[in-house]
Amino acid sequence: MAANTIYDLPVSNNGARCRIIVYKKGLSLENDVNIVSPMELGGMKTAEYKALNPQGLVPCLVTDGGMAIPESDTISRYLLDRYSSTGPSFIPSTIDARARSDLIARLHDMYVTTIQGCVYKAVPPFGKFSCRRAAIAELKRQLSVLD
């Protein structure tokens, strides 16, 4: 069994942030980080999974010490610290660059992913937006902030 387990789904954009770190650092999927579906615990809404992540969302990391860490940004930071001597660092070398990196992650989490789900829905409601066009316009606006 791997030292750490990430419960995730291939369609999770938030989980992708964690998977990219695992893959780009060249971590072993057998010895370092095991990526599994929450279905191995019966699904995201089961009591067993919610004991790890009360929100019932992915991703969720369970460390080799048994600590459950939900939220992709926190998981990413854990992985970067835990495996700092393996593969590329991904941590910017200057304080300004680190602040910019942190800001991009925060803007993504607060303003991009909250709109993004509207794109996948076939019919309303589209969150707080009256139509898909309005949601996509706001998504484009938020992405432009990152530039």
Taking only the tens place, the pLDDT of each residue in 73-87 is 999 999 999 999 999
Could you tell me the pLDDT band of residue 71, with boundaries at 50, 70 and 90?
A: very high
Q: For the whole model, what pTM was predicted? A: 0.84
Dump pLDDT digits (tens) for 94-134.
999 999 999 999 988 888 887 877 777 767 777 788 888 88
The rounded distance, in Å, linking the Cα atoms of 56 and 48 is 10
For the chain, how long is the longest CA-to-CA vector? 48
DSSP string across 102-142: HHHHHHIIIIIHHHHHHHH-SSS-BTTBSSHHHHHHHHHHH
Beta sheet of 33-36, edge-to-edge order: 33-36, 4-7, 60-62, 68-70
pLDDT band, residue 2 (cuts 50/70/90): low
Average of per-residue pLDDT values in the chain: 91
- Report how far residue 34's alpha carbon sits from residue 30's, in angstroms, rounded to the nearest whole number: 6
